[in-house]
Amino acid sequence: MNVELKNINKHFGAVHANKGINLNIPTGTIQGILGENGAGKSTLMKILSGFIQPDPGSEIILDGKPVVIHSPADAIKYGIGMLHQDPLDFPPMKLLDNFLLGLSGGLFPNRKETAQDFNLLAREYGFSFDPESYVDSLTVGERQQLEIMRLLFLGARVFILDEPTTGISAGQKEKLFATLKKFPEQAMTVIFVSHKLEDVENLCDRVAVLRGGGLVGETKPPYVTSNLVEMMFGKAITLGARQPAEAGEVTISMKNVSLEDVRMKIKNVSLDIHAGEVIGLAGMEGSGQDLFIRACAGLMRTVGGRIHLQGQDLTGKSYHTFKHAGVNFLPAARLEEGLVLGLSLTDHFVLAEEPKGLFIDRAAGQKLAEDRIQSFNIRGKPDSTVESLSGGNQQRAELALLQTPLSLILLEHPTRGLDIESVIYIWSKLKGRCKTDGAAIVFISSDLEEVLQYSDRVLVFFNGMVSAPLDAGKTTVEELGQLIGGKGWADKGEAHD
Amino acid sequence: MIKNRLGNLSYQLAALLLAFGVVSLILLSVDASPSEAYKNIFKGSFGEMRKFAEVLVAFVPLLLVTAGLLVTFSSGLWNIGVEGQVVLGAIATTWVYRFYLDSDLPPTLIIILAIIGGMLGGAIWAALAGILKVFGGVNEIFGGLGLNFVATALTIYLIFGPWKRPGVASMSGTVPFPDEFSLPLWQNLRISPWALVIALIGIVFVYFLLQGTYFGLRLKAVGKNFRAAYLLGIPTWQYSMYSFLICGALAGAAGAMQVAAVYHRLIPSISSGYGYLGLMVAMLINYQALWAVPVALFFAALNIGSIQLPIIMKLDSSLSGVLQGVLVLFVLLAAGVRQKFGRKV
């Protein structure tokens, strides 16, 4: 099926998430969509698969016919199937029942017939599934295959795959690619959304690169990796000279730390972070840096190794113990984890302080709030609720909650969505804490410029692998971009893997 | 801020009018006169001193339960188990009275011990729901509901088993306690000024707890955003437990009042549904302690006033329940409408 996107625009409030995107995907191609987090890939795919509606004036043309896609069910009727990053299935149910769920019509589903179709389809694409087994017995990779089969079964002619290679093994990836490569012969179209350069280069017949909501370019093989990286991350904007820190004593020391969650394993990381030092964590979202920063905060138990904070062994201790030892963590999800909706700025500042007595001294609280509002340049009043503040002001309010004294500040995307002045302001405050408190900073950012600008050393994460610390002063955006995309690990990665 | 409150009030007034409107329609559909019914309810509750005293008798446990629920609601918990906590308060009070039945202690001291015992009983029952929630992952609504049934069964067992009347056990409850175990009543009315004072102390305590203390602010933070509260350094599950304990103690006090000031014995339906009614009051006042007193009084008046309906108008007294339920529904609906269509502030 030929998919043509014409002048696709999408605003979320003030954010222009898709800026007039024009893209023609001919029948029988595997189209790669490449871009960093927040480039607008997901928005575009959600529009094509009916999850969200584009702004008026946008056009989707399938095989020459303009269509309006109101819902995901609508999309599948037009033959567009989307494979989500997280499988949308029902783990406690049988495979066959998962299949029957998507079917329309009939009060009593015909299990026998469907089971036959199921087996036929599985054989055709070389999958081996027992329709009577349960979904939760499958691996993530197998659930993906099941989902592809379900979409085939529902008659999909266009397959959208959103970051399908995250969290699956190398063998499963090969199998997935082999399956996808059969699709063009049957006049089916594949749209492969990824930030992994290697995957895109290996699989796709053509690649479109998005950045900042717009389409910045299209290329065909042979691909030049450095070109792709440049298109993805753009040219540098200057933020002034770097200010390397004078590193002091060791603040936090990790020895052979291993971490694990359902998707990811990180093995044997050893690192000393010094007072006054800033460590940037780079990598695409979900590459393991979130586990690392949570382990530094005591929010995630290590499965091996030891963590010492200023000489004190805190391995396996709770977040509150870490906090008492001067570790502060500011999560990316400001409104979900960082701030309490419905409470005012004053309430927040009072909560963050040690209680003095039983009753709250309102006047003192008001004074405290006024001071903080002024010194952190927050546009808001002491009794403003946090949800009434703009994103940048919420971020400043979070910073204003940092306790004194501090030994380690952990930040997730501290400046995401903020304008350049706010970025500079926030970093001047943070660097200030390094100087006055001798605090070390570890931060995650998807903005490579920011990572190189403000870090002393950088750790790159890719699929749970951690690079040796890179000297931020001697690393370029291109090098970092390649590592993030999974290239050039042979000489960097072995330090920790 | 003030404009905001006025806007809120107008929505709630509209809800009140709508609730009376719907109940009037129900009355008209059975050929009864709404105005006469409302008049009888009013006369039955505020018409004479004796009747107003009855209203206050109902007001005391209702206010205590509401005060407790304000605490659990603040910490984001739906303490449906409050009904069972009232029952356990009554059982514990009865147990203390029975324990000191033949003692030489001054009766005043025994009454105080019995009330404290009731508060402990309620708190322990609430702690069970809290433990189920915090350590067992059982939603407090389900845990509380289950414990309510257990509490009722326990009452029946005690009345018909270990604490049965000499001779034959009966639904009329255990043997009444001697007069000196009763909280002193006011003149010849059924209301004890002491019970009233205890209820008012309860709500004032909760008001200051929630408005002015670090404890209250932390409780609110836990209720509004458990995760963020944890990251801010608040020991979250401990605060959930504290709020269960406080609510349980206040509900237990309500149960103690039912035994010490009203029935002077344990009866099967000792809680009289005040736990559930308290939930409605707490929802109606949108969890603001200041409104608890007038609204609890209003609900108590409806309960007592509607007793007149079957006598005078041959209507069922459950009409008050219908009015209360419809009122809560409309107030919640008004809040929803306001959120959806109202101007964003």
Average pLDDT of B154-165?
Answer: 93
Which of A320, A340, A352 is closest, CB to CB, to B225? A340
Q: In which region does residue A310 sit, left (phi positive, over 0), alpha (psi from -120 to 50) or beta (all else)?
A: left
Same domain, A387 and A440: no
Cα–Cα distance for residue pair B236/A200, rounded to 1 Å: 45
Same domain, A129 and A257: no
Name the domain count of chain A: 3
Which residue shows structure tokens 């029902």? A90
Residue A388, domain extent:
344-397
Same domain, A60 and A177: yes
Cα–Cα distance for residue pair A383/A150, rounded to 1 Å: 53
Is some CB atom of chain B closer than 8 A to the CB atom of A336?
yes
Cα–Cα distance for residue pair B305/B315, rounded to 1 Å: 12
SS3 call for B66: helix
Residue A417 falls within a domain, yes or no?
yes
Q: Using CB atoms and an 8 Å cut-off, which of residues 93-132 of chain B contact chain A?
A: none
pLDDT at position A497 is 39
pLDDT greater than 60 at residue A311: yes
- Asked if the Cβ–Cβ distance from A323 to B215 is below 8 Å, we say no
H helical segments located in A78-158 = 95-101, 111-124, 140-153
Same domain, A362 and A426: no
Residue A339 falls within a domain, yes or no?
no
Average pLDDT taken over every residue of chain B: 90
Structure token pair of residue B35: 């105005």
Measured between alpha carbons, how far is residue A232 from residues A7, A197, A215, A465, A466 in Å? 20, 10, 10, 22, 22
Residue A149 falls within a domain, yes or no?
yes
Same domain, A385 and A459: no
Structure token pair of residue B174: 């255990």
Same domain, A393 and A414: no
Asked if A413 contacts A446 with a C-beta cutoff of 8 angstroms, the reply is yes
- Asked if the Cβ–Cβ distance from B224 to A340 is below 8 Å, we say yes
Same domain, A320 and A366: no
Same domain, A408 and A392: no
Same domain, A55 and A124: yes
Minimal CA separation from A464 to chain B, in Å: 25
Same domain, A163 and A265: no
B88-102, B299-313, B316-330 — most confident range: B88-102
* Span B33-314 CATH architecture: Orthogonal Bundle (1.10)
Asked if A193 contacts A162 with a C-beta cutoff of 8 angstroms, the reply is yes
Size of interface A-B (CB pairs under 8 A): 61
pLDDT greater than 80 at residue A469: yes
SS3 call for A168: coil
Is some CB atom of chain B closer than 8 A to the CB atom of A359?
yes
Is some CB atom of chain B closer than 8 A to the CB atom of A401?
yes
Residue A132 falls within a domain, yes or no?
yes
pLDDT greater than 80 at residue B34: yes
Residue ending a domain, among A233, A267, A294, is A233
Is some CB atom of chain B closer than 8 A to the CB atom of A355?
yes
Asked if B22 contacts B227 with a C-beta cutoff of 8 angstroms, the reply is no
Is some CB atom of chain B closer than 8 A to the CB atom of A38?
no
pLDDT tens readout for residues A53-62: 999 999 999 9
Structure token pair of residue A150: 């379900």
Probe site for chain B from A351, A368, A387, A406 (most B CB atoms < 10 A): A351
pLDDT tens readout for residues A371-428: 999 888 888 889 888 888 877 788 889 989 998 888 999 999 888 767 666 778 888 8
- Asked if the Cβ–Cβ distance from B229 to A340 is below 8 Å, we say yes
DSSP conformational letter for A233: H
CA A448 to chain centre: 14
Is some CB atom of chain A closer than 8 A to the CB atom of B288?
no
pLDDT at position A119 is 87
- Asked if the Cβ–Cβ distance from A351 to B217 is below 8 Å, we say yes
Same domain, A354 and A423: no
Sorting pLDDT into bands at 50, 70 and 90, what band is A240?
low
Residue A296's CATH number: 3.40.50.300
pTM of the model as a whole = 0.77
Residue A333 falls within a domain, yes or no?
no
pLDDT tens readout for residues A85-119: 666 677 788 888 877 776 666 667 778 888 888 88
Nearest residue to B122 via CA among B227, B275, B323: B275
- Asked if the Cβ–Cβ distance from B233 to A343 is below 8 Å, we say no
Cα–Cα distance for residue pair B114/B248, rounded to 1 Å: 15
Of the two residues B59 and B330, the one the predictor is more confident about is: B59
Measured between alpha carbons, how far is residue B3 from residues B60, B112, B254, B333, B342 in Å? 33, 46, 36, 21, 13
pLDDT tens readout for residues A361-375: 889 999 999 999 988
Cα–Cα distance for residue pair A447/A424, rounded to 1 Å: 14
Is some CB atom of chain B closer than 8 A to the CB atom of A397?
no
The domain locations on chain B are 33-314
- Asked if the Cβ–Cβ distance from B212 to A339 is below 8 Å, we say no
Which residues in B lie closer than 8 A to residue A359 (C-beta atoms)?
212-214
SS3 call for A215: strand
Enter the ipTM: 0.84
- Report which secondary-structure segment, H or E, holds A47: helix A41-48
Which residues in A lie closer than 8 A to residue B213 (C-beta atoms)?
358-360
- Asked if the Cβ–Cβ distance from B232 to A355 is below 8 Å, we say no
Question: How many CA atoms lie less than 13 Å away from A88 in the CB half-sphere?
Answer: 13
Average pLDDT of B263-268?
Answer: 93
- Asked if the Cβ–Cβ distance from B231 to A358 is below 8 Å, we say no
Of the two residues A323 and A463, the one the predictor is more confident about is: A323
Of the two residues A95 and B116, the one the predictor is more confident about is: B116
Minimal CA separation from A346 to chain B, in Å: 11
Q: Which amino acid is at A291?
A: L
Same domain, A221 and A356: no
Residue ending a domain, among A233, A259, A287, is A233
Nearest residue to B321 via CA among B303, B295, B309, B294: B303
- Asked if the Cβ–Cβ distance from A342 to B224 is below 8 Å, we say yes
Asked if B70 contacts B210 with a C-beta cutoff of 8 angstroms, the reply is yes
Structure token pair of residue B290: 């200041």
Minimal CA separation from A297 to chain B, in Å: 10
Is some CB atom of chain B closer than 8 A to the CB atom of A67?
no
Asked if A385 contacts A229 with a C-beta cutoff of 8 angstroms, the reply is no
